[in-house]
Amino acid sequence: MTKKTDVKDYIRTIVDFPHEGILFRDVTTLFADPRGFRMAIDQMLHPYAGQRIDKVVGLEARGFIIGGAIAHQLGTGFVPIRKKGKLPGTVISQDYKLEYGEAIVEIHDDAIQAGETILLVDDLLATGGTAEAGISLIERLGGKIIGSAFIVDLPELGGRALLEKMGMDVHILCEFDGL
């Protein structure tokens, strides 16, 4: 058994999932390993040490796992951004484009107060569409995003460039080539 020394070592690749030709980067193997999971959370937090973070916002669905752990570590609140129709209260919505269609994400309209500092997190950054929609929702509520952190980046899909063009600080733990 090879010793795992990097977050990337804990992530498995599943070939042809969910479609033929796709290399699916499965972070559930990272989450299942206590050393790997702690390493990922610590590394995601590191660039923001000493900064005030009022809330951590996680993108559906694996961003909830990461975001909950980070919020706990920081002793702050956690806010989910969910797919349309999943939140019970009054929400605001944002549509965005997917590779093959469109989707809508939502946030409770009272989840973030104007001026609160926000760290946006998710497991994977691909085209950046979901993150861009999340950023729009946070900014519409008056939140100030101090950074966005992801475990995996798929650089060929351009998500990081999109977020940086929007002026976002982007922190990535590892990259994988290919789709």
Q: How far is CA 37 from CA 84, 120, 121, in A?
A: 29, 18, 14
Which residues, in sequence order, are bridge partners of residue 96? 103
Q: What is the dihedral of CA 120, 122, 127, 130, to 10 degrees?
A: -60
Based on the residue annotation, tell me whether 140 is a catalytic residue of this protein. no
Q: Which phi and psi (to 5°) does residue 152 adopt?
A: -120, 140
User: Which residue in 62, 106, 116, 160 is the catalytic one?
Assistant: 62
Question: Which one of the listed residues 35, 60, 82, 99 is annotated catalytic?
Answer: 99
The verdict on whether 99 is a catalytic residue reads yes
DSSP 158-171: -HHHHHHHTT--EE
Q: Annotated catalytic sites, by residue?
A: 62, 99
